[in-house]
Structure 1
Amino acid sequence: MHPRLTLALSLMEALAIFAYAISGFIEARKRRLDAVGMFLVAMASAFGGGTVRDVLLERRPFYWVEHQDYVIAIFGLSLFAPWLLKWATRLISERTLLVADAIGLGLFSISGTSLAIDAQLPWFTCVMMGVVTGVFGGVLRDVLCNEVPLILRDSRPYATCAFAGCCLYVLLARSSFDNVYSVLIATAFILLARLVTFRLDVRLPH
């Protein structure tokens, strides 16, 4: 893989992880949790989907164990989260968080699908493994905060975007398309699908 592409993917990965962690901080703050609670909710948001994926695929060590720098950074942020959130709300717009979250959804979903393909699982299982990786962190976050998970009460497409993008990735992978470009195309598809449907306020039928 080209060094610049590797760097770009690494930066996008970091952005996605911290976007998910920030969503955890925000929800924990609404529930008036202490630093320990904020850390747990942020960890669940950032790594919950990947951990469930690793458990199902019997992968060891877990992703967050291999990348402890992210864990240390989230731990440090959780100690100062209440003050950081007040500062961040002045500098970071809701649109920025939406874009970062959409990047995370795309990257995590496609990474989950890719690992399932490497494990030679059936195509639909690969797709669902990607969806679980992308959305389950948010589910765990909401459960820890004693809420009905957002994907079950918000009719705007979220998991649906991940599902469609993972299907596209499987098709590209099976057509012997270059894997690097397959990842980029499928991730971009999920990102754009999420942003466009949110912008147009598209809602799934009840």
Structure 2
Amino acid sequence: MHPRLTLALAVMEAIAILAYAISGFIEARSRRLDPIGTFLVAMATAFGGGTVRDILLERRPFYWVEHQPYVIALFAVSFVSPMLPKTTSGLFSERVLLVADAIGLGLFSVSGTSLALDAQLPWFTAAMMGVTTGVFGGVIRDVLCNEVPLILRDSRPYATCAFVGCLLYAFLHHIDFDTIYSVLIATFFILLARLITFKFDIRLPH
């Protein structure tokens, strides 16, 4: 893999982990989970999609095993988060959860597609691998919190935004567009598409 792309993916995944972990912390806080429960939800949200991706691509060790400091940081924050003022989560939880989820969706989806293409998967399969990477953390989070997964209960485009963005990245990769700009363009597209569909309440037909 190109060194610049390797660095870009590493930065992307770190930001995505933070974004998804925030959504996990907020959801766990709203459910009044104890620190261990909070850690499990944040861990599953941050690393669930990437773990499914690594299993399907037969990549070892898993990302969270190879980057143990992230796991330790989530564990430490899980014991601090219950001490934060309740008014903070009450005022910002919905907005922060939406933005954090959109950021994680974009970053994880594109990084998953890039790794799949690097593993010589066909373009359509690579795009689906990217969608899997992007959405499964949120699916596992919702299941653990006894919620119907957002991807199933919200008719606003969610996986669709990720899929189109992943196809965009696959196309840019196919025409040998600069890898860094390809990553940024596709990620920003998914993030912007998700926020626009939510802002203007754009929904898919039932």
- Do both share a fold (TM > 0.5)? yes
The residue aligned with 1:199 is 199
Kindly indicate whether the alpha-carbon contact (under 8 Å) linking 1:16 and 1:104 is maintained by their aligned counterparts in 2: yes
Q: What is the Cα deviation at residue 117 of structure 1?
A: 0.4
Q: What is the Cα deviation at residue 185 of structure 1?
A: 0.8
**Structure 2 vs 1, CA of residues 172 and 85 (structure 1 numbering), >3 Å: closer, same or farther?**
farther
Q: What is the Cα deviation at residue 67 of structure 1?
A: 1.6
- 1:187 partner letter: T
**Structure 2 vs 1, CA of residues 67 and 183 (structure 1 numbering), >3 Å: closer, same or farther?**
same
Kindly indicate whether the alpha-carbon contact (under 8 Å) linking 1:26 and 1:85 is maintained by their aligned counterparts in 2: no
How far apart, CA to CA, are the structure 1 residues paired with 2:68 and 2:92?
26
- 2:71 partner letter: V
**Structure 2 vs 1, CA of residues 174 and 159 (structure 1 numbering), >3 Å: closer, same or farther?**
same
The residue aligned with 1:190 is 190
The residue aligned with 1:122 is 122
Of stretches 174-183 and 48-57 in structure 1, the one that deviates more from structure 2 is 174-183
User: What are the superposed Cα offsets for residues 29-69 of structure 1, whole Å, 9 maximum, x if unpaired?
Assistant: 33332211111111000000000000000001111112222
Q: What is the Cα deviation at residue 204 of structure 1?
A: 1.0
The residue aligned with 1:177 is 177
TM-score, length of structure 1 as denominator length: 0.89
The residue aligned with 1:18 is 18
Q: What is the Cα deviation at residue 95 of structure 1?
A: 3.5
Q: What is the Cα deviation at residue 146 of structure 1?
A: 1.9
How far apart, CA to CA, are the structure 2 residues paired with 1:92 and 1:180?
32
Kindly indicate whether the alpha-carbon contact (under 8 Å) linking 2:8 and 2:180 is maintained by their aligned counterparts in 1: no
TM-score, length of structure 2 as denominator length: 0.89
**Structure 2 vs 1, CA of residues 85 and 130 (structure 1 numbering), >3 Å: closer, same or farther?**
farther
**Structure 2 vs 1, CA of residues 91 and 72 (structure 1 numbering), >3 Å: closer, same or farther?**
farther
How far apart, CA to CA, are the structure 2 residues paired with 1:60 and 1:156?
35
- 2:171 partner letter: L
> Any unmatched runs of 5+ in structure 1?
none
The residue aligned with 1:40 is 40
Q: What is the Cα deviation at residue 87 of structure 1?
A: 6.5
The residue aligned with 2:81 is 81
Kindly indicate whether the alpha-carbon contact (under 8 Å) linking 2:13 and 2:111 is maintained by their aligned counterparts in 1: no
> Any unmatched runs of 5+ in structure 2?
none
**Structure 2 vs 1, CA of residues 23 and 93 (structure 1 numbering), >3 Å: closer, same or farther?**
closer
Q: What count of residue pairs does the alignment treat as equivalent?
A: 203
Matches within 5 A, 1:81-100: 81-84=81-84, 86=86, 88-89=88-89, 92=92, 94-100=94-100
- 1:132 partner letter: T
User: What are the superposed Cα offsets for residues 111-144 of structure 1, whole Å, 9 maximum, x if unpaired?
Assistant: 0000100111121110110001001001011111
**Structure 2 vs 1, CA of residues 139 and 201 (structure 1 numbering), >3 Å: closer, same or farther?**
same
The residue aligned with 2:147 is 147
Q: Does 1:64 align with 2:35?
A: no
Kindly indicate whether the alpha-carbon contact (under 8 Å) linking 1:15 and 1:100 is maintained by their aligned counterparts in 2: no
User: What are the superposed Cα offsets for residues 58-88 of structure 1, whole Å, 9 maximum, x if unpaired?
Assistant: 0011111122221111100111221236364
The residue aligned with 1:156 is 156
